[in-house]
Structure 1
Amino acid sequence: MDNQIKFYGQGLEFFGIWFVNLLLSVVTIGIYSAWAKVRTKKYFYGNTDLAGDRFDYHAKPIQILKGRMVAMLFVLIWFVCNQLFPTLSLLLMLIFILLAPWLIHSNTRFDARMTSFRNVHFNFTGSVKSAYNVFLFWPLICAVLIACCLLISAAIGGSSWLGGLIVSGLSLLLGFVLFCWVSAEIASYFVNGYHYGSCSFSGKIDTKQYVTTYLQGAVLATVLTALMVGTGIALFGYSFHDISNSGEGIAANGGDFTMIFAIFSSYIGFILIMLITSGFIQARLRNYIFSEISIKETAEYGLISRMTTKGLITLMLSNFILLVVSVGFARPWVMVRTAKYVASVTAVQGDLNALTVEGDTLNASSAVADELAEAFDLNIGIG
């Protein structure tokens, strides 16, 4: 049986919470933002329903506040050093890069432990060593390999342009495959690290699926680009030809407007192509990853994702328009609409009432890594 996830939050209702959070955060110079984060999390978790029960969020505001203060202190130090001591700021950035895998791991574990369903907490047990492998060492090794291949192609290109071209092409192909491999390993790290009480999630993520999906995305982008270029030539080609042969200058024939409109249309077209392609890839990969997830102890339980490219792109475009038109004040509705859509395309397979789970008492006293990861936009997951 499939248990559809439902979200019952309302935009107007959450707007009141969001607006009060915003005002109090401004009045208290950001101190209340820790309480605002907890209230927001509790609202969204508490309105997410699965098989008649709701999720809950257990972090304490004081945990968030302590972590946020440390994170802001680090950001302030880096900003001052960047302005006054550029060399020192580079050193701090290097230290941050070295700490990034640990931050991602700690952030994921904190968020998981603070989440519960039916009074049973989630957990994340992925190792710090694996985090450094997938987020730092393997990407670094891949980058070095690709750089070496490009240097070899440059050396060969000096004596044979054809040989250099072939090696360059092989280097790009190698880079593409390695990118897909690292992406699959990152997804596998998260999938196999989550636990729900005594039950552990597992899934085998295949690199081939990533290669196929990204290749399909590349083909889609190429076709859309060709259509856009062909349409542009059909619409503006005659106008440019007429202007160039008129002998009266571009401005005298309204050519300035035509040129500006053509450039503007091209920018919009490329943005839409990027949006459609990224939506296609994101939806395909999410559906694939969720289809591979099951509970290790019993295979009858799993996750289902029915996200579509059309639905995701429509959501992204409409949310963007809402934010622009409302000058940002529609953000509560955007957040609620996003949560409703994600819930509507997600389900849990299996009889949850028959699932026997033993809960653990999990403590997470520090949210420093969580706030540092958020400050530098390191929140990574499986969607």
Structure 2
Amino acid sequence: MNHKITCDIELRKFLKILFKDILLTFISSGAYWVWAMPKIMQYTYSQTKIGSFKFDYHVTPYDLLQYVLGLGGVLFVWFVVAVQSIELFIISAVTFILCIPLFYYKCVQISVGGKSLNSQRFNFSGPKSGAYFLFFHPKIVFFLFLVCGFMYSGFQIQRTNEILSYGLYGCAFLSMILLIVVFVVEKARYIINHYEYGNYCLKTTISEKDIFQSVLSAFISVKYFFVAIALSGFIYWMSGDDFWKMLSFVFAFVLILSFCISYAADYRRRYFDKIRVDGIDDFKFVSTASGWHIFLHCFSCLYSFIFTFGLAMPWLFASRHKFYFEHIMIVGELRQIERERVSAAQIEMVG
């Protein structure tokens, strides 16, 4: 059985909540934001449903206040120390980098722990050590050293051997791609594998191979444009005419755009396809968003934001929420989860 996620945000109510909170935030010089954000998110998630299930949002202003004060305090201390000398700047910068996993962990706790489905919540049980392992994973450190080493070597020999320096820059670029791939995979594993809903846990089997396959699929889907890019390169190097050079850049832009559109859809499909619910074999998530859908949504949001000087932000917020959830299809039977929810509610009432 297929279950679509629906989002019924009423723009009039959303604007009423948003403008009131923006006004109070402006009057309080930003301090009211801690109380405004939970109200906005509570309304947004309360209008999001999976069949008969209804989402809710349980993040409190106190949770946000803790995070904001902690991050603000560290940034203030870092700024005070960093302006004293270059040595203190380096030391404080390294210290701040070491604090990033803790801030990231706190963000995950807030965003994941705040979502619930009736009486049972989606909770995040990942340890803080896992956040550090995510940022300082041996593969990530290895590829980061490769990137820095290739770039430094290319810079050193640029004056003596230009061809070799370009080769080293190319290796640095490839290492950067591998670095991003590994980071994306480890981030997905760390977050999804620590989702809990009642007695159920989410698991993902996504791997570096899946990410590379999504990249290759995207390239294959735009294979006909390789002819165009090859032709554009030939035109660019053989012709001194500015018109033909501009044409080559247009071909290159079309190729990059087509690749991004294709990759976005294929990556999203592989990402959701690897998520399962332990204990329910036939329950899975499916993405229904095509690359063209993703591109049009991102382009329309960016276009609206720029040409309204930011005034369209309320519409964009609601649009992004609707797009994200309404393009996720849940395939499976929800009755088992519903029975679990009813049993938990009965036990709670008896207690």
TM range (shorter): 0.7 to 0.9
Aligned counterpart, 1:126: 126
CA contact (8 A) 1:199 1:296 kept: yes
How far did residue 270 of structure 1 move? 7.5
Tell me which amino acid in the other structure corresponds to 2:116. S
CA contact (8 A) 2:120 2:198 kept: yes
Aligned counterpart, 2:349: none
How far did residue 269 of structure 1 move? 8.7
Q: For the residues of structure 2 that align with 1:167 and 1:240, how far apart are their CA atoms? A: 32
CA contact (8 A) 1:31 1:65 kept: no
How far did residue 60 of structure 1 move? 1.7
CA contact (8 A) 2:47 2:54 kept: yes
Aligned counterpart, 1:95: 95
Aligned counterpart, 2:201: 200
Q: Which moved more, 1:174-183 or 1:88-97?
A: 174-183
Which residues of 2 match residues 251-266 of structure 1 at below 5 A? none
Q: Which moved more, 1:130-139 or 1:329-338?
A: 130-139
Q: For the residues of structure 2 that align with 1:201 and 1:188, how far apart are their CA atoms? A: 10
- 2:93 paired with 1:61: no
Flag the 1:172–1:343 CA change in 2: closer, same or farther, 3 A.
Answer: closer
Tell me which amino acid in the other structure corresponds to 1:29. S
Aligned counterpart, 1:136: 136
Q: For the residues of structure 2 that align with 1:127 and 1:161, how far apart are their CA atoms? A: 47
Aligned counterpart, 2:187: 186
Aligned counterpart, 1:44: 44
How far did residue 122 of structure 1 move? 1.0
Tell me which amino acid in the other structure corresponds to 1:30. G
Q: For the residues of structure 2 that align with 1:92 and 1:343, how far apart are their CA atoms? A: 40
Q: For the residues of structure 1 that align with 2:166 and 2:305, how far apart are their CA atoms? A: 46
How far did residue 332 of structure 1 move? 0.8
Q: For the residues of structure 2 that align with 1:224 and 1:104, how far apart are their CA atoms? A: 43
How far did residue 292 of structure 1 move? 1.2
Q: For the residues of structure 1 that align with 2:148 and 2:65, how far apart are their CA atoms? A: 43
Aligned counterpart, 2:294: 312
Aligned counterpart, 1:351: 333
Which residues of 2 match residues 205-354 of structure 1 at below 5 A? 205-217=206-218, 220=222, 223=226, 226=229, 229=232, 277-354=259-336
Tell me which amino acid in the other structure corresponds to 1:320. L
Tell me which amino acid in the other structure corresponds to 1:197. G
CA contact (8 A) 1:7 1:48 kept: yes
Question: Per-residue CA shift, 1:301-343, capped at 9, x if unaligned?
Answer: 1211112110011011111121122211111111111112222
Q: For the residues of structure 1 that align with 2:232 and 2:260, how far apart are their CA atoms? A: 20
Aligned counterpart, 1:244: none
CA contact (8 A) 2:144 2:175 kept: no
CA contact (8 A) 1:201 1:293 kept: yes
CA contact (8 A) 2:185 2:207 kept: yes
Flag the 1:274–1:7 CA change in 2: closer, same or farther, 3 A.
Answer: farther
Tell me which amino acid in the other structure corresponds to 2:20. V
How far did residue 145 of structure 1 move? 4.3
The answer for unaligned runs of 5 or more in structure 1 is 242-258, 361-383
Flag the 1:173–1:327 CA change in 2: closer, same or farther, 3 A.
Answer: closer
CA contact (8 A) 1:150 1:171 kept: yes
Q: For the residues of structure 1 that align with 2:37 and 2:22, how far apart are their CA atoms? A: 11
SS where residue 29 of structure 2 aligns?
A: coil
Tell me which amino acid in the other structure corresponds to 1:287. R
Q: For the residues of structure 1 that align with 2:84 and 2:151, how far apart are their CA atoms? A: 36
How far did residue 133 of structure 1 move? 2.1
CA contact (8 A) 2:214 2:263 kept: yes
Q: For the residues of structure 1 that align with 2:274 and 2:33, how far apart are their CA atoms? A: 37
Q: For the residues of structure 1 that align with 2:240 and 2:156, how far apart are their CA atoms? A: 42
The TM-score normalised by the length of structure 2 is 0.79
The TM-score normalised by the length of structure 1 is 0.73
CA contact (8 A) 1:177 1:211 kept: no
Tell me which amino acid in the other structure corresponds to 2:11. G
The answer for unaligned runs of 5 or more in structure 2 is 346-351
Flag the 1:101–1:275 CA change in 2: closer, same or farther, 3 A.
Answer: farther
CA contact (8 A) 2:48 2:55 kept: yes
Flag the 1:301–1:159 CA change in 2: closer, same or farther, 3 A.
Answer: same
Flag the 1:166–1:24 CA change in 2: closer, same or farther, 3 A.
Answer: closer
SS where residue 180 of structure 1 aligns?
A: helix
Question: Per-residue CA shift, 1:229-254, capped at 9, x if unaligned?
Answer: 58x97xx986769xxxxxxxxxxxxx
Considering Cα pairs closer than 8 Å and 6+ residues apart, tell me whether 1 or 2 has the greater RCO: 1
Question: Per-residue CA shift, 1:153-192, capped at 9, x if unaligned?
Answer: 9999999999998888667656544542332222122221
Flag the 1:38–1:227 CA change in 2: closer, same or farther, 3 A.
Answer: farther
Percent of paired sites with the same residue: 21
Tell me which amino acid in the other structure corresponds to 1:137. H
Q: How many residues matched?
A: 337
CA contact (8 A) 1:199 1:357 kept: no
> Cα RMSD (Å) of the superposition?
4.1
How far did residue 126 of structure 1 move? 2.4
CA contact (8 A) 1:275 1:313 kept: no
How far did residue 228 of structure 1 move? 10
CA contact (8 A) 2:232 2:252 kept: no
